[in-house]
Amino acid sequence: MQLEFEKVGPALWEIPRTGDMQVPARIYATAEMMKSIRSDPAAQQAANVACMQGIVGASLAMPDIHWGYGFPIGGVAAFDAKDGVISPGGVGYDINCGVRLMASKLTRAEVLPRLRELVNQLFRDIPTGVGAEGSVSVSVEELKRVVVEGAAWAVRNGLGSESDLEFIEERGCIRGADPAHVSARAWERGREQLGTLGSGNHFLEVGYVEEIYDPEQAAVLGLFKDQVTIIIHCGSRGFGYQICDDYLAVMDRASRKYGMKLPDRQLACAPIQSPEGQAYLGAMQCAINYAFANRETIAHNARLAFAKALRAKPEEVGLRTVYEIAHNIAKFEMHVVNGKERRLCVHRKGATRAFAAGHPEIPAQYRAIGQPVLIPGDMGRYSFVLTGTAKAMEETFGSTCHGAGRMLSRNQAKHAAKGRDVIRELESQGVIVRGQSRRSVDEEIPEAYKDVTDVVEACELAGISHKVAKLKPMCCIKG
C-alpha cells in the first residue's frame, strides 16, 4: 500500500486513516529525516499497528523509528484497558530494556589518568556477551523472589543501595508479576544471568557532562560541567527473551481464537482481559522486575570497580543513581483522551516515558522539572539527558525517543567495518572500548546509527521532550 504523509506540525507527519486503520499513524521527524522514513518499511508497520483492536488516539512513531518485529522500534501504541489488546511485538524481545544514568563526584580530569585501568576493571567485573553468566547464581525458587521484588531483591541481598530505589521507574518493582506464567526454560535461562550486560547494543559507558542546556534543571538533577557519569543500557537477558518467544506462540493461537483482523501476523495479540492476555502480562511483569534487579546489580558492581580502579573509597567516588527508565515495556497508565481521563495499556517499544512536571510518578526531588529521560547514542558520539513535557502528555501518552535508531543491519555494519580497526578509530577520538570480540564492536560502529543529536533535536522541535545536558563518552564495555 502506498502511504500518504501529511505534515501536521513542525516535526510531525500523519498517515491518514485508510482501509482497516482504526486511527491515524503519526511520525515525529524533521523533513530531512522523512526523506528516508518515507521508504522505510517501519512506516508501514506504524500504519499496521493503527489497525489493531482498541487502539486509542493514534499509532505513534518517534524520530528513531526503524523496522522491528511487528511493531516498529520507536513505536508507541495505547490500548483501552478493558476493550484493547496486548501484544508481545509491541514490547519487544528484550522486555524492560532500559537505561540507568549514574553521576559521580569526580571530574573528567580526575578520572582520565586512570581511564584505561577503569575500563579494564569494569570489563573484568561486569560480564558481557551473548551467553554471559554473572557472579550471582540463584536457584529457581530464589529467582521467583527476584522477579516479584525487582531491584529491592538486589538491595536486600547486598547487591545494591536503598537510596537507588526512589530514582528507578516504579521504584524498581512493578506490581502484578506472576511466576506461575513463566516457563521452565525461562527460569533456567535466568538463573545465571543477573548482573550481566549481554550483547548487541547493550553497554556500560563512562562519560562526562560536555554541555548543559538548562542550568536550572541540571542543578536539580545534580549534574555539572565535566562531571563523570555512567550509563548502563541493558534489559532482562535470556529470561525476557524466552518469555517473549513463549508468548508469541501463545498470541498467534489467541489471534485466531479471538478472530483478530491483523495486517501482519507479527502483530499477534490477545484481548487484555482474556486468559492469554493476563498470562502474558503476569510473565512480562516478571521480566520487567528481572531487568530492574539486573541493572541494580550491575550498578553495584560498577561502584566497586570504580573504587578499585581509582584506588578510592566508594563514598569518595560518590556514584549515585540520577534516574533509571525503561524503553521496551507495556504498562497501565491514566491519560486524558478527548478531554476524558482513561486507563490505557501503553506499549512503548524503543520509546521512553516522558511524563511532565507535577506527575505523581516522578520522584519528589524532580517533580517540579518533569521526569528525566535518558537517551543513549552510539560509541563515538553523544548521549543526552532530557525531561518530559506537557505536550508529550497531550500528544504521545507521555512518550519520546529512546536512542539513535539503527540505520544499518548488523551484517551491513560488519561489511562497512571490513578492513578497519574500529577500536583504534574510536580510541583516536578519545573513547576506549573493550568488547568480547572485534565482531561485536564492528556491528555497533557509529555510522550504523542515526545521529542521536538529530533525533533529540526533532523531539525538542516537536515539543515532546526538553534538552537538559549532553554527555560525551570516555570509555565503554560491551558484549
pLDDT digits (tens, 9 = 90+) for 326-350: 999 999 999 999 999 999 999 999 9
- Whole-number Å distance between alpha carbons of 13 and 197: 36
Q: Where are the domains of the chain?
A: 6-92+332-353, 98-331+359-478
Active site residue 415: no
Percent of the chain as helix, strand, coil, to the nearest 5: 40, 25, 35
One-letter identity of residue 6: E
Residue 419, burial from CB neighbour count under 10 angstroms (0-12, 13-18, 19+): exposed
The pLDDT of residue 471 is: 98
The pLDDT of residue 439 is: 81
The pLDDT of residue 404 is: 86
Catalytic residue among 181, 402, 415, 466: 402
The pLDDT of residue 164 is: 98
Helix axes 140-149, 275-310, angle to 10 degrees: 90
| C-alpha grid cell, residue 261 | 483482523
Name the stretches of the chain with pLDDT < 70: 1
Contact present, 214 and 386 (Cβ < 8 Å):
no
The pLDDT of residue 379 is: 79
The pLDDT of residue 101 is: 99
Q: What is the DSSP string of 43-108?
A: HHHHHHHTTSTTEEEEEEEEEEEE--SSSPEEEEEEEETTT-EE-GGGT-SSTT-EEEEEEEEEEH
This prediction's pTM:
0.97
The pLDDT of residue 369 is: 99
Contact present, 458 and 28 (Cβ < 8 Å):
yes
Q: What is the DSSP string of 267-307?
A: G--EETTSHHHHHHHHHHHHHHHHHHHHHHHHHHHHHHHHH
Among residues 291, 203, 247, the alpha carbon closest in space to that of 478 is found at 203
Within 8 A by CB and 6+ apart from 310, the residues are 106, 111, 114, 117, 118, 317
The pLDDT of residue 458 is: 98
Q: Where are the alpha helices (DSSP H) in 311-381?
A: 314-317
Among residues 287, 156, 191, 283, the alpha carbon closest in space to that of 234 is found at 287
Report the sign of the C-alpha dihedral through residues 35, 41, 42, 45, in that order. Answer: positive
Indicate the class that CATH gives domain 98-331+359-478: alpha beta
Q: In Å, how far are 10, 164, 267, 287 from 92, measured between CA atoms?
A: 30, 26, 11, 12
Report the sign of the C-alpha dihedral through residues 90, 96, 99, 100, in that order. Answer: positive
